Chain A
């Protein structure tokens, strides 16, 4: 950080931007592999929205840091330990139930998070959140529909959906974690108390699972670390693919 730059805001923006960037990259892996054409298009459109949001958060982060790094430098030239996304978004696509469960858990949180960030004391944060919230409302409608359709579907689809929501459950706790940084940000009016969003998130998940005839996972032990740069090995593979060109040919342009 350069002298006088705002480290709390910088880290806060990285956390928001990296969630969008890494999930976008994961969803892009489906391009050309979707189970049906409409879903291939839908997943890549969601990926595109999230990439656009990542660009807004990371460009702002670069400006706040004040060391001349732009959105591209932050996306392509940071190592895994410098990424601040939650572990949930770096989980593998696996089958369609896993992709859907991951998206649903994230969208349900993202939608609540943005509606709070729209009231941020930082005008730029509030503006980006207002813009992104409209897109994420649509993402959540879509992922909720798929959870219901697969959950309340055939025996096989229900079994797969239940397996996926169970397997990813331990990655949801990190979304509501409050650390020193979050508390400072909260005091400055930058953003909400994440832990306070958990109840509303849980209500929405429970309502959707009831309609989907899925059982709510009961585990209480939660994975953590992504927001502090401690990731699963999966992130390394994502970055290897995403960053390859800029690492092999620094400064390459289309």
Chain B
């Protein structure tokens, strides 16, 4: 007796529980890393298409391992993970709701690239703690490839900014 395959929507929900190892307040789905989920008809095999954030992102191996173990927990063991480069990952795929969560976590969310394509590190970034707009860049590169480091000139706290990409 073969049990029914879980629905694709159900699988997306499970993947929403897989946190990004470096920005745990976002899931791999929030980040837009998971591009597609499909069952191969008749093969009982799941194909997940993912795209890397940055070419050298060292978290990608951990992310695929975490996705596999999450699915294994729900009895899905035959998973093929395919990598896709195009269209290139953009922070515009992070939803407004996920950006609000980033802000609550203390990381200034990325500006919308579709609106402002000129600056990867925007000129004005509000402090995630006190919301002051008097802030300055400390370093274009922060603790991970996807972040820059800023400092608030009012509350004096340094903070991470998720770079527009």
Set of chain A residues within 8 Å of B69, measured between Cβ atoms: none
Set of chain A residues within 8 Å of B55, measured between Cβ atoms: 49, 51-53, 55-56, 131-132, 135
Interface size class of B (residues with CB under 8 A): 20 to 34
Specify the main secondary structure of chain B where it touches its partner: loop
B93 at the interface (CB under 8 A from A): no
User: Which of A49, A126, A128 contacts B54, CB < 8 Å?
Assistant: A49
Set of chain A residues within 8 Å of B86, measured between Cβ atoms: 126-127, 130-131
| Segment from A37-45, A191-199, A232-240 that makes contact with B | A37-45
Set of chain A residues within 8 Å of B130, measured between Cβ atoms: none
> Cβ of B139 and Cβ of A38 under 8 Å apart?
yes
Interface mask (A48-84 → B, CB under 8 Å = 1, otherwise 0): 1111110110000000000000000000000000000
B42 at the interface (CB under 8 A from A): no
Minimal beta-carbon separation of A21 from chain B (angstroms): 11
A134 at the interface (CB under 8 A from B): yes
A5 at the interface (CB under 8 A from B): no
Interface size class of A (residues with CB under 8 A): 20 to 34
Smallest Cβ-Cβ distance to B165: which chain A residue: A134
Q: CA separation between A44 and B67, bound complex, in Å?
A: 28
A223 at the interface (CB under 8 A from B): no
B156 at the interface (CB under 8 A from A): no
B85 at the interface (CB under 8 A from A): yes
Set of chain A residues within 8 Å of B163, measured between Cβ atoms: 138
